[in-house]
């Protein structure tokens, strides 16, 4: 790798010249600064000179690893994503990096918390996850927990981690051990990586008494603590920050700070001797429909016609343009299930306040309280996997199954 | 109206019995508590007794209103929504309440800031707004400003206020006076209303030197200050809170507190003697497509086939499942414009980091930096109203026209 000095105007940058990706703009070069950040420059705006040639240092220790037999045994399951990868700076490609050896050599402090096994279930970027992957993860997690592991960590891409956490929350039944999803926003070979703290905190949670499906990620942009988010209350709220994941309409279950867990709200407790089982019958014929001014009625009609279930991501308290009413009415008459959530994300739908909401209610649209649209989408697949009967679907959609919905609070 | 006492378990509530809405559940009654909140009760869970009969007090003053001729003249344009309404407690219906007389009698302090005229342009709930309404508002605002008014306030429903503010930001050209959108989350006859402070703050902004399209709404749930949000940077982020509106990927322009404006970032300044004009050619054949795991390829293909422009609300840094690539590629080959934003809302898309992003870039998907999906949707209509040429559209979409996009910042 070449060490270069780049001059742009009166600013000077030093760093390693990165190889170009296959599809990258040929007018730009990218430099990896010494602090780990990558900066792109337009070639005709800079002067560039080579200032040396460096070898990438090997971090790996040479002594043999020894895990402590007395500690609780947990399994880290790799499914792909940044946390399971490192960048190959010679080719620019992202490579999977996921052997127990590699993880423990990079995170030796994990060996003081647990006895760690790892396996790779599959290796895909989370934007390519589909419901079938949720099922594969659920089934494997159940096998692992029932074979005596104390907890499971799932290393997962961050893009759709909150969809997977919701799916696992509904599918894993009689769950009395921790199932911890963890990802990283920046790969583990970058100095700004969040991977180490996230994995360290996830390991603490996996050996704790929190027997739920949770997402453990940075609580702030400082590299000092992680939140434990309930799997049905969490959403990725930033493209790149390390604290991208936020609990919405709920506090996080707790925080991991200085190696200790502090909890904020009630949670399900660990119970030994229980067998987890998987309830993964899904009806995948569901659509998540975001509403916007001027949305085309013909496409909405096609969607209502094609799918068994539609989760509307409405405006405000749970609204949609009035001219879509007859389409939704027709759909419900055909036996389709139509539910309402809000694109504001925060807050609770309340369709009794304005006439549009009351009309939607009167035709049978189901108001999903304070459930996130993404969680509602997953839940509707799960519920329609059991029944298509309107009253039963309504009852299940409005019943709190995995912390996805909270009692209406009246603030007096 | 009947004053009643409701007993539920060991709790007692007193308030006015509200009439039922036409479509409301017949098993519930709603009581308006003395603090203004409405609480619903299931009939078979409560005991209810009548404790008196009250008259609704008339708040109106009897003396004649006199506006100060020396103050700058502003126009309040009603378009509908909660801020333009009050609940009729006899019938349960929401009624428009929008005469100058009524506004000034309810907000006499406005007469110390400006000379106020009002008019009703139309009266619709904002979930029913369409691009044609944006145009009507833009044209009327231009007429008003060019006829000598110092500023305009647009009273608007909150559901889609951020779409309208984005549309006006692109359509109003050579704008050197304030255009202030204001709404309320709770109607003005409720004690918890935000309407008074919002309107008061909007009036201060309308007479200020901030010559942009802005949204003025509560800055916190306290009733003490309002943020001035740039029209292209704001989004409704809560179903019901008074501080539902947030500036995203930008600070607000400023805050109105104790009757004074404090600004945080640079803004366009008032300039007298300028004529505003309207550039409202829109291509409405645009779709805002939210991505989710398992999204149906056939429907995506129909959308790509039907529309001239598609704004993808992708996952993470700007991703979509790889199996949609060939659909998008086909669309772009047919001359469709496909742009990328992120459903995380916060942060900037960066499609160079992972292979999925690079593939999307290589087929010609346009990465919209840190633009909000809703703003990108409105902007693509506006840009496609001018040209369908890929290179020109790309250039305009990536050019900062109204504060909707910011320079890429490298944090070193």
What is this model's ipTM?
A: 0.85
Q: What is the pLDDT of residues B65-88, one digit of tens each?
A: 788 999 999 999 999 887 777 655
What is the average pLDDT value for chain A, to the nearest integer?
Answer: 89
- Position A35 scores a pLDDT of 59
Q: How confident is the model at residue B97 (pLDDT cuts 50, 70, 90)?
A: low
Beta strands in A11-100 (DSSP E): 11-17, 28-33, 38-42, 47-53, 73-78, 85-87, 94-96
What is the average pLDDT value for chain B, to the nearest integer?
Answer: 89
- CATH fold match for the domains A73-278 and A286-397: yes
| Largest interatomic CA distance in chain A | 73
Distance CA A144, CA A175 (A): 12
User: What is the residue whose two structure tokens read 């308030």?
Assistant: B15
Any A CB within 8 A of B189 CB: no
Say yes or no to pLDDT of B382 above 70: yes
Distance CA B311, CA A390 (A): 34
Q: Report residue B74: phi and psi, to 5°.
A: -125, 160
B290·A302 Cβ contact <8 A? no
Q: How confident is the model at residue B27 (pLDDT cuts 50, 70, 90)?
A: confident
Task: Measure B34 CA to nearest chain A CA, in Å.
Answer: 10
Higher pLDDT, A370 or A12: A370
Which of B2, B30, B135, B159 is an active site residue? B159
A239·B317 Cβ contact <8 A? yes
Structural tokens at position A394? 């309504």
User: Among A118-132, B100-114, B212-226, B365-379, whose mean pLDDT is lowest?
Assistant: B100-114
A239·B350 Cβ contact <8 A? yes
Task: Average the pLDDT over B199-203 and give the result.
Answer: 96
**Residue B316 · residue A241 · CB < 8 Å:** no
Distance CA B118, CA B103 (A): 9
Element (H, E) at B309: strand B309-314
- Determine the angle formed by the axes of helices A297-306 and A325-333, rounding to 10 degrees: 10
Distance CA A331, CA A384 (A): 15
Say yes or no to pLDDT of B61 above 50: no
CB-neighbour burial class of residue B367 (10 A; exposed 0-12, middle 13-18, buried 19+): buried
Contacts of A273 (CB under 8 A, 6+ apart): none
Any A CB within 8 A of B324 CB: no
Domain over A286-397 is classified CATH 3.40.50.40: yes
- Give the DSSP letter string of B153-195: EEE--STTHHHHHHHHHHHEES--S-EEEE--SS-TTSTT--H
By Cβ distance, the residue of B22, B306, B344 closest to A236 is B344
By Cβ distance, the residue of B22, B239, B302 closest to A344 is B239
Any B CB within 8 A of A356 CB: yes
- Position B393 scores a pLDDT of 98
Which of A32, A86, A118, A158 is an active site residue? A158
Contacts of B239 (CB under 8 A, 6+ apart): A316, A317, A318, A342, A344, A346, A347, A348, A349, A350
Say yes or no to pLDDT of A61 above 60: no
Task: Express as a percent the part of chain A with pLDDT over 70.
Answer: 88
Higher pLDDT, B373 or B194: B373
- Determine the angle formed by the axes of helices B325-333 and B355-362, rounding to 10 degrees: 20
- Residues of B within 8 A of A319 (CB-CB) are 125, 127, 159
Distance CA A174, CA A276 (A): 5
Higher pLDDT, B80 or B243: B243
Say yes or no to pLDDT of B22 above 60: no
Q: What is the pLDDT of residues B294-351, one digit of tens each?
A: 999 999 999 999 999 999 999 999 999 999 999 999 999 999 999 999 999 999 999 9
Residues 52-71 of A with CB under 8 A from B: none
**Beta carbons within 10 angstroms of residue A175's beta carbon:** 23
**Residue A138 · residue A104 · CB < 8 Å:** no
Helix (H, G, I), strand (E, B) or coil at A78: strand
Q: Percent helix, strand, coil in chain A (nearest 5)?
A: 25, 30, 45
Task: Average the pLDDT over B279-305 and give the result.
Answer: 98
Instruction: Tell me the pairing of strands B234-236 and B245-247.
Output: antiparallel
A299·B303 Cβ contact <8 A? yes
Distance CA B405, CA B376 (A): 10
Structural tokens at position B57? 């007090």
Q: What is the pLDDT of residues A177-220, one digit of tens each?
A: 999 999 998 876 666 778 889 999 999 999 999 999 999 999 99
User: Among A366-380, B6-20, B53-67, B82-96, whose mean pLDDT is lowest?
Assistant: B53-67
Element (H, E) at B403: none
Any B CB within 8 A of A131 CB: yes
Annotated domain spans of chain A: 2-53, 73-278, 286-397
- Position B62 scores a pLDDT of 45
Structural tokens at position B302? 């129909």
- Position B80 scores a pLDDT of 87
Helix ranges restricted to H, B296-344: 297-306, 325-333
Structural tokens at position B144? 């008003």
Going by C-alpha positions, the residue among B85, B93, B90 that lies closest to residue B17 is: B90
Element (H, E) at B8: strand B2-8
Minimum CA–CA partner of A324 in chain B: B128
Distance CA A105, CA A59 (A): 9
Distance CA B371, CA B342 (A): 9
- Position A56 scores a pLDDT of 42
Does residue B236 have an active-site annotation? yes
- Position B407 scores a pLDDT of 76
- Position B323 scores a pLDDT of 96
**Beta carbons within 10 angstroms of residue A248's beta carbon:** 19
- Position A411 scores a pLDDT of 45
Distance CA B348, CA A233 (A): 23
A302·B299 Cβ contact <8 A? yes
B288·A284 Cβ contact <8 A? no
- Residues of A within 8 A of B291 (CB-CB) are 127
Say yes or no to pLDDT of B113 above 70: yes
Task: Average the pLDDT over B228-246 and give the result.
Answer: 97
Any A CB within 8 A of B331 CB: no
Distance CA B353, CA B25 (A): 52
Q: Report residue B258: phi and psi, to 5°.
A: 50, 40
Say yes or no to pLDDT of B157 above 60: yes
Minimum CA–CA partner of A296 in chain B: B287
Structural tokens at position B32? 């308006």
Q: pTM of this prediction?
A: 0.85
- Residues of B within 8 A of A303 (CB-CB) are 299
User: What is the residue whose two structure tokens read 């105007």?
Assistant: A9
Higher pLDDT, A118 or B64: A118
Higher pLDDT, B254 or A223: B254
Say yes or no to pLDDT of A66 above 90: no
- Position B103 scores a pLDDT of 79
Helix (H, G, I), strand (E, B) or coil at B45: helix
Domain over B2-53 is classified CATH 2.130.10.10: no
Domain over A73-278 is classified CATH 3.40.50.11890: no
- Position A80 scores a pLDDT of 87
Going by C-alpha positions, the residue among A307, A302, A264 that lies closest to residue A284 is: A307
Say yes or no to pLDDT of A412 above 70: no
Helix ranges restricted to H, A80-209: 100-106, 131-146, 161-171, 195-206
Q: What is the pLDDT of residues A233-275, one digit of tens each?
A: 999 999 999 999 999 999 999 999 999 999 999 999 999 999 9
B127·A321 Cβ contact <8 A? yes
Q: Do you know the residue count of chain A?
A: 412
- Position A59 scores a pLDDT of 41
Q: What is the pLDDT of residues A109-138, one digit of tens each?
A: 899 999 999 999 998 899 999 999 999 999
By Cβ distance, the residue of B292, B298, B358 closest to A374 is B292
Distance CA A254, CA A336 (A): 39
Minimum CA–CA partner of B351 in chain A: A24
Beta strands in B34-89 (DSSP E): 38-42, 47-53, 73-78, 85-87
- Give Cα A365 to chain centroid, integer Å: 28
Task: Average the pLDDT over B25-43 and give the result.
Answer: 70
B296·A287 Cβ contact <8 A? yes
- Give Cα B319 to chain centroid, integer Å: 27
Minimum CA–CA partner of A412 in chain B: B37
Distance CA B215, CA B411 (A): 29
A23·B359 Cβ contact <8 A? yes
Any A CB within 8 A of B33 CB: yes
- Give the DSSP letter string of A304-364: HHH-SEEEEEEBTTTB--GGGHHHHHHHHHTT-EEEEEETT-BS---TTSSHHHHHHHHTT
Q: How confident is the model at residue B96 (pLDDT cuts 50, 70, 90)?
A: low
- Residues of B within 8 A of A411 (CB-CB) are 37
- Position A13 scores a pLDDT of 86
Say yes or no to pLDDT of B21 above 60: no
Q: How confident is the model at residue B54 (pLDDT cuts 50, 70, 90)?
A: low
Say yes or no to pLDDT of A54 above 70: no
Task: Average the pLDDT over B380-387 and give the result.
Answer: 98
Task: Average the pLDDT over A287-314 and give the result.
Answer: 98
């Amino acid at each position: 790798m070449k060490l270069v000095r780049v001059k742009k105007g009166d600013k000077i940058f030093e760093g390693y010249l990165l190889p170009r990706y296959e599809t990258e703009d040929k007018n730009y070069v990218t430099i990896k600064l010494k602090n780990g950040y990558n900066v792109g420059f337009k070639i005709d705006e800079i002067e560039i000179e080579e200032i040396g040639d460096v070898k990438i240092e090997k971090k790996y220790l040479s002594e043999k690893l020894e895990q402590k037999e007395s500690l609780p045994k947990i399994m880290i399951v790799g499914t792909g994503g940044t946390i399971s990868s490192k960048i190959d700076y010679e080719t620019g490609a992202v490579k999977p990096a996921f052997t127990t050896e590699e993880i423990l050599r990079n995170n030796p402090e994990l060996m003081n918390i647990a006895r760690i096994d790892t396996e790779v279930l599959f290796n895909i970027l989370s934007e390519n996850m589909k419901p079938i992957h949720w099922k594969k993860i659920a089934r494997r997690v159940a096998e692992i927990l029932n074979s005596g592991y104390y907890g499971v960590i799932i290393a997962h891409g961050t893009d759709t981690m909150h969809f997977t956490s919701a799916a696992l929350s509904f599918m894993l039944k009689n769950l009395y051990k921790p199932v911890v999803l963890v990802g990283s926003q920046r790969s583990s070979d970058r100095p700004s990586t969040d991977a180490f703290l996230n994995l360290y905190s996830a390991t603490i949670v996996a050996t704790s008494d929190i027997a739920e499906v949770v997402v453990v990620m940075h609580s702030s942009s400082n590299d000092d603590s992680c939140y434990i988010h309930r799997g049905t209350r969490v959403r990725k709220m930033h493209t790149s920050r390390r604290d991208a994941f936020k609990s919405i309409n709920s506090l996080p279950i707790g925080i991991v700070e200085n190696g200790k867990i502090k909890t904020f709200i009630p949670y399900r407790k660990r119970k030994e001797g229980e067998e987890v089982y998987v309830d993964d019958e899904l009806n995948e014929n569901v659509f998540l429909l975001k509403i916007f001014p001027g949305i085309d009625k013909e496409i909405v009609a096609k969607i209502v016609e094609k799918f068994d279930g539609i989760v509307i991501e409405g405006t405000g308290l749970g609204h949609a343009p009035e001219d879509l009413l007859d389409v939704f009415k027709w759909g419900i008459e055909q036996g389709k299930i139509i539910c309402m959530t809000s694109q504001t994300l925060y807050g609770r739908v309340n369709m009794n306040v304005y006439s549009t909401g009351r009309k939607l209610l009167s035709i049978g649209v189901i108001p999903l309280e304070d459930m996130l649209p993404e969680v509602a989408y997953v839940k509707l697949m799960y519920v329609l996997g059991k029944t298509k009967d309107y009253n039963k679907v309504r009852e299940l959609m409005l019943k709190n199954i995995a912390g996805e919905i909270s009692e209406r609070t009246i603030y007096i």
